[in-house]
Structure 1
Amino acid sequence: MNYPPYPVRMDPMWRTISFEQITDISSATGLTDGKYNAAGVLYAQIQVTTSDMRYRTDGTDPTSAIGPYTATNGIIEVWGQDDMAAFRAIDSAGSSKLEVTYFGP
């Protein structure tokens, strides 16, 4: 599948399908199955709020010391339902929250 070489939010052909706020990632936490599995969802844009976190998209749980680090207000882009299903996040220094918007064509 070909994906646009620029952020989805700039492409008028993509639309918001769903949204969720994940308020507790004190232990490794994934995205909500019913949100990323909704018809047409191909992309998740995740904003980290409140504090820093770590994540993985290989289905393995991150720890507070292992996994790509994302600072407060950072954006993570996850393409495809397989990677969305495998996504896991955990606080690295506090009480992070995730604001997740799901997009599709």
Structure 2
Amino acid sequence: MVHNVTPIIGLTPFDYESITVADSAIGLTAAKYLDAEHAEMTLETAQIRYRLDGTNPTSSEGHPVEVGDLIILNSAAQIAGFKAIRTGSTSGVLKVTYFH
């Protein structure tokens, strides 16, 4: 498989984390995104749902994300407000890179 990587002009990756999205809503790690202006995430393992307004999503409410999808957050407010939850019995895993 070939991955096309698009450069983020003017931004530098500075941190990374892997987050397990289980049956309770979870946000990103504040200590990791403290100086972030942009974040990119890919989903592995299982479908999830997310919200950006700081409200917890449910297994049936929020934006659905399928395995392999890319989520791009373009502001500190979106990053801080991100919350996700799995939709089924299998937890999803988000691979997150932070940029500043």
Task: Pick the TM interval, shorter chain.
Answer: 0.7 to 0.9
1:30 matched to 2:31? The reply is: no
Counterpart residue number, 1:100: 96
Counterpart residue number, 1:64: 59
* Code of the aligned partner of 2:16: F
Give the match's secondary structure for 1:89: strand
CA contact (8 A) 2:48 2:59 kept: yes
Shift in alpha-carbon separation, 1:18–1:56, aligned structure 2, 3 A: same
How far the C-alpha of 1:87 sits from its partner, in A, is: 0.4
Structure 2, unaligned runs of 5 or more: none
The alignment covers a number of residue pairs equal to 95
1:90 aligned to 85, 88, 92, which one? Answer: 85
Structure 1, unaligned runs of 5 or more: 1-7
For 1:17-65, what per-residue CA distance to the aligned partner results, in whole angstroms no more than 9, with x for missing partners? 1000012432100000011113xx2101011110010000001100000
CA–CA distance in structure 2, aligned partners of residues 46 and 52 of structure 1 = 13
RMSD: 1.6
Counterpart residue number, 1:51: 46
Give the match's secondary structure for 1:83: helix
How far the C-alpha of 1:73 sits from its partner, in A, is: 1.0
Percent of counterpart pairs with the same letter? 36
The TM-score, its normalising length taken from structure 1, stands at: 0.83
CA–CA distance in structure 1, aligned partners of residues 8 and 50 of structure 2 = 26
* Code of the aligned partner of 1:74: D
Counterpart residue number, 1:4: none
CA–CA distance in structure 1, aligned partners of residues 31 and 72 of structure 2 = 18
